Structure 1
Amino acid sequence: MTVLKVAILGFGTVGEGVYRIIQSHADELQKVIGKKVEVAACLVKNKQKARDIHENVLVTDDFEEILGLPQLDIVVEAIVGKEPTFTYLTKAIQRRCHIVTANKEMFAHHGNELLELAKEYHVSVGFEATVAGGIPVIQTLRQLLQVNRISKIQGILNGTSNFILTEMREKKQSFAESLLLAQRNGYAEADPTNDVEGFDAFYKTMILSRIAFGEEPDWLTVEREGITGITSELINAAEKLELRFKHVASVWKEGNRIIGSVKPVLVGKEHPFYHVEGVENAVNVHSDIVGRITLQGPGAGMFPTASAMIEDLVYVSVNQKDKRCFSQYQSQAKEQPDEFWLIHGIKGTVNSQITVIEEPVEGFFVIKAAKKELEHLALQHKAVRYFSILEFEKSLVGQFEINENSSIQTFIHI
């Protein structure tokens, strides 16, 4: 019987999950791939540590030992950090192995290099697990890109931040209290900066941009804001309007520019992200034919992420070449329309380009304005904070009467 030999780099939560699935789903894998899948080696930090790994599997802390195996077909990488993982995967490709990775930081920085190298060595790269845990967003985009033109992708891409915002709202807790609970539950690291400041979601957004548009925005132009500034007072004001804070990553094409952002926004009941709670992830894809579709599922944990890696293992092992047809069409650059915002921290007179709609809580206002007006306002008022309300027009029906011709010269007392 033909056998497919796999090496797993890293035997933490995800790496162990991949190993367990290969053992428990051996028959299913063999039926799909046409070969028996065997784990040949595991790369670990401490090879003296007791682990439930079959005695026939090479357990080592030396990657060169793995490269020296007589047969090696696929390398599955579940480590963190840019190095030494990039070096490991480069050597694996040069050994003519297919690779599968869950490392979003490394892949955001070096994904293009690995894909080009894989093309040169006629092997495949699987990276589904780099973006949204168990949600098959990359496979979905590959299918959509056959014909559909994607115009925008939005996502809740970090389960830790989503969990914290959910706990703050449901349990009336502070950010610090909710973060501590996330750490106790194993959702947040001891240093949670990558998650709560939006770096993790940023890396994932860059990967999605490459899939959807064939390129990514200039990293320095991407607006990135974490959730550390979200207070109980802000959440309370949003609840009065039946809105919820979500940490949303967005990337879209405007003319010949790719624009991206990762920031807290507000969503109403009709938005698909409204009921995405806890450590769940969700991705919203806007395209010209199918319209808008939303994928939702677990974004973290042993088996959701390992599941995505196993699906990629199948993808690369049957040698499916990457047939993505990147959307190179040019969307028309349009002047940005006025948007709805929740704002607070203003003192004085609001200019005539801003419509004040509602004051749900004293000192907090729903307004309608162009973003450039708010940016100008923020320069004048250092304490001002504002948050976009996605698709707020839908939730206005029957609640507020907006007179577009109303006086826009409004005095706000804080």
Structure 2
Amino acid sequence: MRFIFRPPAADAAGLLTLPWQEPLEEWEDERLLEMPHRGISRHVVRFVEDSGQIFALKEIDERLARREYRLLGRLQEMGMPAVTAVGVCVERGSYRGTPLDAILVTRFLDFSMSYRYLFSNRYATFPEGKLIDAMVELLVRLHLAGLLWGDCSLSNTLFRPDAGSIEAYFVDAETAELHPTLSDGQREYDIRLAAERVGGELLDLQAGGLLPEHVDPIEVAASLTERYHALWDELTREEPIDPADQRYQVTKRVERLNELGFDVDELELVSTPEGARLKVRTKVGVSDRHRTRLFALTGLDVSDNQARRLLNDIVAYRGYLEQKEGRSIPETVAAHRWRIEIFDKVLGLVPPELRGRLAPAEIFHEVLEHRWFLSEQAGRGVSTTTAARSYVENVLPKLPQTLTPVATTHSAGDGASAGDA
């Protein structure tokens, strides 16, 4: 057998003691975990916890495994919202006379969920429009990067709560192709396929009684195409520029793209007989302006949406401190005090057995939402600490676990969804 791992290889060193010489579905090991609400899969996918980290293992044809491993690595270098390829085990020989496929190892995306899990639990309260918007944004980012998905579906996407919204991540790269750019025909192929797959998956949920009654799978699938074209046009269209108002129009366009969560890679003003036109090259990676700023101020590494929410709370806390102490307080000092006196204090109220329900920044966001709810009920302002205690006691325990250990006699059976990898 041959193991190929990306640096730092030490992160996955413990995986070498797993029974690689056996078919993945027959593995028995105390480190195995089970993902609830698995989807239908063409392959066996299993989950392992080692040294505090969770990994997804997918048994697949060696040629496809090597290809997917390289492609996921390339997407990671580009800063795309995709799972991280850790390594691949190839040349596994045979087991009882049957050749063994390769196994692709990816790092499990913390606090992420499949679409089935979202609709089967409390997260079904998210409007289905947010789910489709997240998937559309992911598809647009991939297309801007020149990636033809070829198998776009809800099953091949992971979702993660993100400060009241949902963030989508690319998972299955078996059929994907990376090109310098995509033609309109290639993009339309992906869009049509996505709409068909999403419609079918939602119809399946409807048949299983998991879809809210007001959701029409056909309408939702059709809206995916409309939303995609609207976002693509917003990000890539050329627009005429009035020379007398050039600076304002350029600034407005950049701000609009930033509001949508995208950064500008390059601006180009083109002179034509009809007048000047503005061309914008949109940056394909995940926007991280707020994330970078929050990390510099507090050392917290969170998603960009979560960072924006936390930065707003820092601004409010700074104003509170200045009013209370009657003096001007530098932003860095206010952020440091907020981290110690507010954020860490709130997270300290969460008992160990509940800390795995949501990401720490998402818990804090929900505490802020809960604070607003309690303040509305009371007709007065409620403190963050009071809201945190109420949230931990009444809301957080009701959220479902996303991972559970399985006994060593467990068989993977029909496997997990490719989208759970």
**Would you call these one fold, judging by a TM-score over 0.5?**
no
TM bracket (short chain) = under 0.3
Taking structure 1 as the reference length, what is the TM-score of the superposition? 0.26
Please identify which structure carries the higher helix content.
Answer: 2
TM-score normalised to the size of structure 2? Answer: 0.26
